[in-house]
Amino acid sequence: MKAKINGTERELVDGATVAAVLALLGAPAAGVAVALDGEVVPRAAWPTTTVPEGGVVEVLTAVQGG
Amino acid sequence: MDDPLVIAGREFGSRLVMGTGGAANLSVLERALVAAGTELTTVAMRRMDAGGGTGVLELLRRLGIETLPNTAGCRTAAEAVLTARLAREALGTSWVKLEVVHDDRTLLPDPVELLDAAERLVDDGFVVLPYTNDDPVLARRLEDVGCATVMPLGSPIGTGLGIRNPHNIELIVARAGVPVILDAGVGTASDAALAMELGCSAVLLATAVTRAQDPELMARAMRSAVEAGRSARLAGRIPRRFWAHASSPDVDA
């Protein structure tokens, strides 16, 4: 199935979790946050939240700015 | 702590809040932050690239500087609220520098979206530090909805034009019950000193230091300026006079 990860369309296995997407991106364990379809997914829910077909996932971190 | 800056019950020894944008690299940034003596510094939230973050979080942690995430780049209240919630999740802080700008050319705050976002974030338990126009009425409204500070601009972000409307800053200070932090427009040390002389509780700046020819030296200058301006404010300046007023005794006396 397809999902949009940080603006790029990616092919994911059916039932892929947020935790699996983070592993795919090589995200560090700390300092990142995830929104799925415009809602924050709390860290504790990453292993149990599945990304739906056509889901929009945003993975954010802190950068220099402001 | 002597004369601390107090925001939402939390004390800071330094009245210079720094941003991290514009530095050529992390080592330049580190020297500037250390020279500035800052205890509170902003970071932006952006999409994670493959390979993780930029190292700025680790730097702030190592230096013992409190991280203040911002919502830079947001144009609507909805975007800003989501970004603040993501920052809280990523960084484990409920403090947020709220920025909701109207357009790229001026980067001026959108007052309608800003007030809406501030109210929603306060209701959600955030400590909200809003970047705002130098509008005394809007500043009052932001305080009324529960913001922890108000942070009026001196002039648009990155312009270095200094404080274009000092009287408005004084009006905001005169009526504020929360700390007023001058945010944006500082070009050089005298601008930061003036902000403090006008009664601001702190100054927030980035570009003036990070894009200076010698960021470390400018950071030191800003630190001194903020301290000097604070002392001058507390000392009480003399009134301005039209005619001269001799400072030596009369010749005939």
Give the CATH number of domain B5-235.
3.20.20.70
Nearest-Cα residue of chain A relative to residue B49? A25
**Does an H or E element contain B220, and which?**
helix B215-235
> C-alpha distances in angstroms, A10 versus A14, A58, B110, B170?
12, 13, 35, 53
Q: Give the domains, in start order, of chain A with CATH numbers.
A: 2-61 (3.10.20.30)
Give residue limits of the domains in chain B: 5-235
Residue whose structure tokens are 């935790």: A19
Residue B247: other Cβ atoms inside 10 A? 5
Residue B53: per-residue pLDDT: 58
- Enumerate the residues of chain A whose CB falls inside 8 A of the CB of residue B86: 33-35, 40, 58, 60
pLDDT mean for each 10 residues of chain B (253 residues): 92 97 92 97 88 78 96 96 96 97 95 98 98 98 98 96 97 97 97 98 97 97 98 96 91 75
> C-alpha distances in angstroms, B42 versus A22, A43, B97, B131, B183?
25, 23, 8, 12, 12
**pTM here?**
0.92
Q: Give the integer Cα–Cα distance in Å for B66 and B12.
A: 10
Residue B247: per-residue pLDDT: 87
Residue B149: per-residue pLDDT: 98
Q: Which of B157, B206, B217, B214 is nearest to B22 (CA)?
A: B206
In one-letter notation, the amino acid at residue A49 is T
User: How far off is chain B from A14, nearest CA to CA, in Å?
Assistant: 22
* Closest CB from B29, B82, B87 relative to A64: B29
Q: At A27, is the pLDDT very low, low, confident or very high (cuts 50, 70, 90)?
A: confident
* Closest CB from B21, B51, B90 relative to A65: B21
CA atoms within 13 A on the CB side of B38: 31
- ipTM for this prediction: 0.91
Residue B24: per-residue pLDDT: 87
